[in-house]
Chains A and B, each alone.
Chain A
């Protein structure tokens, strides 16, 4: 492997991390919105969300990437590889995040919100001041775990032509006829990325612990 090869692997790492982060930035709040729809018991919509989550959780990311990239143009919505990859990651992670948020919401004592509303808060204000500050701490480990799972399934977006870490490693291997070194380098990169997420979670928990005396 030459210096240039290491550079292209790093470029792949930047692609993996940035696309995953954008997917997470969309998927985490979207998952919360879906979970709230089910928590609030909205009649038809709640059922639709349940069906969405059930199907998306059973769909391999490769299949979803292909569906998004090839089927959207077919129904008249042209889409480039990068937005298709982001949409795929966000749709997938939103379904899993919905279940994580829902577990936290189900664990949350609803009378607290009733009390807030009785004290004159609007439900939205009650959600912001009373519910959300408690459920996000409860959900954090699950959410970070799901983020690392998303990173590990992100090579699926290579099927629509994105050059991520894994794809970059395959290319180098094909050019140099020595596939093992780039694959080992790719392994090290994934290790760093996953450890980075876990570290970030720990430091957030530590910060909360210092500030409030509990995580």
Chain B
């Protein structure tokens, strides 16, 4: 058993490259998904019915299918519509689209429970349109759903493991590669699992810290 871990340790650079890719992929996907979620949330709260229906259809559709299915659609089915992406970009796009829908629903939930007076006070001070959204509505709702958004980021980290199936060189993929070359399945995958655990703990701890700081400043 120790011998197995020694082999994995000797190839730790590969595992760390995979870990790095998982981190970069997750961070990029979180940032992009959150950015994209914001206009979708606006559409979900729109007074215009067709806009609302369209956004609702997108969000509910994403919430019904597995992430892997979307990754396959982006990677295999989009080329038939003449949109061809390499596996890294396709994986990132799938992560962003999928999680933007979930994040939009999280933001909408917080927005719906935002007290009416809060928005009215903003209107009374002359805020309107995008400025009202950016300065008055968005800050409290992002703060309110901080823990849930943190959970969604953990979901993104875990979803990114699916991308090994379309050969994105992330953590699980590298662990698999080491495993299949040296036949050290236990050590390789346990190492990957522990690295995922460390990453998720880091997310939890930093979300907690940001939340505490934001609460202290309020």
Interface residues of A (CB under 8 A from B): 54-55, 57-64, 66-67, 70-71, 74-75, 151-156, 158-159, 166, 169-170, 173, 178-180, 183, 186-187, 190-191, 194
Contact = CB atoms under 8 A, between A and B. Distances in A.
29 contacts: A58-B154, A58-B158, A58-B197, A58-B201, A59-B197, A62-B161, A63-B171, A63-B189, A63-B192, A63-B196, A66-B175, A66-B176, A71-B185, A71-B190, A75-B186, A154-B66, A155-B69, A166-B69, A170-B76, A173-B72, A179-B72, A179-B77, A183-B69, A183-B77, A187-B61, A187-B64, A187-B65, A190-B65, A191-B64
A158 B159 CA distance: 15
Given A153-B66, A155-B68, A179 B189 contact: no
B189 A70 contact: yes
Contact of A60 (B64, B81, B161): B161
B113 interface: no
A66 B77 contact: no
A71 B77 CA distance: 34
A150 B176 CA distance: 23
A159 B172 CA distance: 12
Given A158-B165, A186-B69, 10 more contacts: A55-B193, A58-B158, A58-B197, A63-B189, A70-B179, A74-B185, A152-B65, A152-B67, A155-B68, A183-B72
Contacts of B200: 57-58
Interface of B: 61, 64-69, 72-73, 76-77, 80-81, 154, 157-162, 164-165, 171-172, 175-176, 179, 183, 185-186, 189-190, 192-194, 196-197, 199-201
B181 to A, nearest CB: 13
B113 to A, nearest CB: 18
B160 to A, nearest CB: 8
A158 to B, nearest CB: 8
A27 B155 CA distance: 20
Question: At the interface, is chain B mostly helix, strand, loop or mixed?
Answer: helix
A187 B64 CA distance: 8
Question: At the interface, is chain A mostly helix, strand, loop or mixed?
Answer: helix
Contacts of A194: 64
B72 A166 contact: yes
Given A54-B197, A60-B172, A180-B77, A67 B68 contact: no
Given A71-B186, A156-B162, A63 B193 contact: yes
Contacts of B159: 60
Contact of B172 (A54, A62, A152): A62
Contacts of A61: 158, 161
A33 B3 CA distance: 35
A61 B205 CA distance: 23
Interface centre among A60, A74, A155, A180, by most chain B C-beta atoms within 10 angstroms, is A60
Contacts of B176: 66
Nearest to A75: B186
Contacts of A180: 73, 77, 80-81
B64 A190 contact: yes
A66 to B, nearest CB: 6
Contacts of A59: 158, 193, 196-197
B69 A169 contact: yes
Given A60-B158, A61-B158, A67 B185 contact: yes
A151 B154 CA distance: 18
B80 A178 contact: yes
Interface centre among B81, B160, B185, B186, by most chain A C-beta atoms within 10 angstroms, is B185
Nearest to B184: A74
Contacts of B157: 58, 60
Contacts of A75: 186
